[in-house]
Amino acid sequence: MSSAELAAVPSRDTAMSETTKPRLSEAQVLELVQRLYGLERSTVRPLPSYDDQNFHVVAPGGGGEYVLKVMNSADSTNPTMIDVQTRAMSFLQEHGIPAQTAVRNAAGELMNLEEIDCGFGCQKFMVRLLTYLPGTTISTVPYTPQLLYDVGKMAARMDQVFLKMDHPHLSALQRDSFIWSLSNVPLLEGYVYSMDGDPLQEVVKAVIEEFKTSVLPRRHAFRKCLNHGDFNDLNILVEPDQSGDYRISGILDFSDMNSGHYVHELAIAIMYMMIQHPDPVAVGLPVTQGWESVVPLNPEERDCLYLLVLCRFCQSLVMARHTVRLQPHNEEYLMITARTGMRILRQLWDLGKAEVEKVWFQDGQGRVLVGDGDK
């Protein structure tokens, strides 16, 4: 898909407006699950979401648990991309990676484009029913070095599996205007105004300039792949194993999938694992070790990792501030990452690349701190 074609399609590839996020009532949700999926007398409750609307659906009489995902009206105009993302979820599951998958409706389809009035007139929203995976979000459990290692390893395994996937419309993931892609960091310049008055605004501007001067010239050496694009602490589920440790039990939300690079996925994973950790800088070592147990970094990728992590912090901070202006009622959820991220971004920036890399790429003796063991 060309840049011109993408520009003609309003989507999260630019930025969401107040009217694009669905706001279905419980009655509207119950009608959808009954009419499309035959789930009568179900109970539903809302789940947190950034641009879309998600509901936990419990069918009566042990009929199962599901997640109803209603895509925002902007992304819903691109069913081809949603189809590719839906296929990617199933493909991971087929290859032993615990991803959510879509459930076929009564007509045998994996998704429906529904016309719904959410208070802004009738709009079209793509609707899918997804499997409900066991576990709790990783944000709620202690981050041991082994669990962080497993996060890095799972992220790398996932991107390797994506490389094997075939689909006639993979080009839909070449999202040249996607504001959350680490290929498109300079696009943040159009939204930095939302930080006016914040002391970190100058750090964000400096990081964007560093990306243009230090990352872009090296990007030719980055290995390409498809990225999940949002491997964060709310999209990774874990559950306890027999030893009392936690294992990854599910991967959620493939809406940010895009054509990118291996090192982008690693940078995103490191950044989000820092948010809940008492020693954020230390996170980079076990996550990177887990990643490199599957996909060792090449010199250019390794040299740019620090700055790419900073870039993801900047994306999260700037777009959270921008989106709060559009959705002030959703500020608590939108700022979950940004509030802590502001402090960590400042810490990483003040420490500098050399000091952070001493932690991430060595432990003083060159030992691998954690590993696969019997897993």
Enzyme catalytic residues: 230
**Phi, then psi, of 24 in degrees rounded to 5:** -70, 145
Amino acid in position 285: L
How big is the CA angle at 54 (ends 277 and 84), to the nearest 5 degrees? 90
Report the half-sphere exposure of 100 (CA within 13 A, side-chain side): 27
Contact 288, 270 (CB under 8 A): yes
How big is the CA angle at 100 (ends 337 and 142), to the nearest 5 degrees? 45
Q: What's the Cα-to-Cα distance from 21 to each of 118, 173, 265, 302, rounded to whole Å? A: 9, 21, 26, 38
Spatial separation of the C-alpha atoms in residues 70 and 77, rounded to whole Å: 13
Helices (H), the chain: 3-8, 26-37, 79-94, 145-164, 201-210, 262-274, 284-292, 299-326, 331-334, 336-351, 353-360
Spatial separation of the C-alpha atoms in residues 363 and 365, rounded to whole Å: 6
Report the half-sphere exposure of 349 (CA within 13 A, side-chain side): 21
**Phi, then psi, of 308 in degrees rounded to 5:** -65, -35
Q: What's the Cα-to-Cα distance from 78 to each of 66, 81, 108, 169, 188, rounded to whole Å? A: 24, 6, 20, 12, 23
The label of the residue with tokens 């290995």 reads 223
